[in-house]
Chain A
Amino acid sequence: EVQLVESGGGLVQPGGSLRLSCSASGFTFSNFPIHWVRQAPGKGLEYVSAISSSGVSTYYADSVKGRFTISRDNSKNTLFLQMSSLRPEDTAVYYCVKCSSSYYYDSWGQGTLVTVSS
């Protein structure tokens, strides 16, 4: 069974930093691209960032480009999202999402809440 478990969320002040982790199991982690998708309270889904299976290619939404960095450690089946210069509008539940072989989101973690507030 595919499992994705996010951690690292919490309360942070505007301008602060936070590092999210996603621990994966139940599939060959190094074979699949993984994305971060977020959802602000009471709002819809927003793509944040993506990383290729090897980690060589990365992609970002314009809203986080230059502030967030996605990375992965295939030896430890773990995905990361380093977030800096955080803003109140970054407040959301952050989901780690596995892509299927046809690049759709076929498995989701339970999410971790990031709150940016003074």
Chain B
Amino acid sequence: ETVLTQSPATLSLSPGERAALSCRASQSVSSDLAWYQQKPGQAPRLLIYDASNRATGIPARFSGSGSGTDFTLTISSLEPEDFAVYYCQQRNNWPRTFGQGTKVDIK
């Protein structure tokens, strides 16, 4: 099973600041990685797929990078609606796995 480790667990930032979230895989997943955003009481939403492609309707301030075992989700300038929990997920092998999540909260 591919274990995904996200860091940090919590990121405390102010609106307008840049956020960088990390996801590290226990083995290579090539570029088969996605990022999801989840707000309280809501289902997750796909942000990034294939490590660096924005999903439909996702603002350009969200970007993804990396391949192999190290990945980064960057939010260039935090908007109030971006404070949420973010998960990475791999689809390279079975079982599909998720990281444990990074919470981005307001400083």
Binding site for B on A (CB under 8 A): 35, 44-47, 50, 59-62, 95, 100, 102-106, 108-111
The number of residue pairs between A and B whose CB atoms lie closer than 8 Å in the complex comes to 50
**In the complex with contacts A102-B49, A104-B34, A106-B55, A35-B43 CB distance below 8 A:** no
Instruction: Tell me the complex Cα distance, A108–B46, Å.
Output: 9
- Which residue of chain B has the shortest Cβ distance to A35 in the bound complex? B96
B12-20, B22-30, B72-80, B97-105: which lies at the A interface?
B97-105
Q: A105 to B95, Cβ gap below 8 A?
A: no
Q: B87 to A104, Cβ gap below 8 A?
A: no
Instruction: Tell me the complex Cα distance, A35–B98, Å.
Output: 14
The contact sample of 26 A-B pairs, CB cut-off 8 A, is A35-B96, A44-B100, A44-B101, A45-B36, A45-B87, A45-B98, A47-B95, A47-B96, A59-B95, A60-B95, A61-B95, A95-B43, A95-B44, A100-B49, A102-B49, A102-B50, A103-B91, A104-B34, A104-B46, A104-B89, A105-B36, A105-B44, A105-B46, A106-B46, A108-B45, A109-B43
Instruction: Tell me the complex Cα distance, A108–B49, Å.
Output: 15
Q: B87 to A44, Cβ gap below 8 A?
A: yes
Binding site for A on B (CB under 8 A): 34, 36, 38, 43-46, 49-50, 55, 87, 89, 91, 94-101
Instruction: Tell me the complex Cα distance, A102–B101, Å.
Output: 22
A27 to chain B, nearest CB (A): 13
Enumerate chain B residues within 8 angstroms of A104, measured Cβ to Cβ.
Answer: 34, 46, 49-50, 89, 91
